[in-house]
Amino acid sequence: MYSISEASEVLGVNPHTLRYYEKEGIITPDRSSAGIRSYTDSHIKWLNFVMKLRETQMPISDIKKYTQLFLEGPQTTKDRLTLLEDHQKNIQEQIQVLLSTNDMLSKKIVAYKGLIGERKQGLIP
């Protein structure tokens, strides 16, 4: 069991982020009789998944939808699959944009290095 501060440290996020995910219904930590949150290894595993979805720009609304579908049970498997497949398509589009941008930047860097080299050799005033 992890306290909110321990869980946030393990996950590399601010405790506020965990409270936000709880407020949005994405995670429901266990609570002591005094109301103190505690997180299990299962919670940590789930939050790692959620954070990967966020890192890849999945909107909170889609994460909430996925969470709700998961909580509804196995009859929602097809809907969850569709949601994840759609997100994967978005990631693949992002990758193509990044690769294209990286290629353009590489060409610019080579051009600038060429200019700097020519200046050092006195070919360009």
Query: For residue 30, is pLDDT > 70?
Result: yes
pLDDT, tens digit (0-9, with 9 covering 90-100), for 72-90? 999 999 999 999 999 999 9
Decide if pLDDT at 123 tops 70.
no
Tokens encoding 5: 């501060």
* Domain count across the chain: 2
Is residue 46, in this structure, part of any structural domain at all?
yes
Averaged pLDDT of the chain: 94
The CATH number for 40's domain is 1.10.1660.10
pLDDT digits (tens, 9 = 90+) for 53-76: 999 999 999 999 999 999 999 999
For residues 33 and 82, state if they share a domain. Answer: no
On whether residue 63 sits in a domain, the answer given is no
State whether 48 and 82 are in the same domain.
no
- 60 in Cβ contact with 27 (< 8 Å): no
In a domain, 62, yes or no: no
| Domain range enclosing 30 | 1-55
Instruction: Return the sign of the alpha-carbon dihedral for residues 77, 82, 83, 89.
Output: positive
Same domain, residue pair 51 and 14: yes
**77: phi then psi, degrees, rounded to nearest 5:** -55, -45
pLDDT of the residue at 120: 73
Residues 45 and 13 in one domain: yes
| Same domain as 81, residue 51 | no
Residue type, 63: I
- Which pLDDT does position 109 carry in this prediction? 95
Helix 15-23 and helix 4-11: axis angle, to 10°? 100
Residue 64 lies in a domain: no
Q: What pLDDT does 46 receive?
A: 97
| Contact (Cβ atoms closer than 8 angstroms) between residue 67 and residue 25 | yes
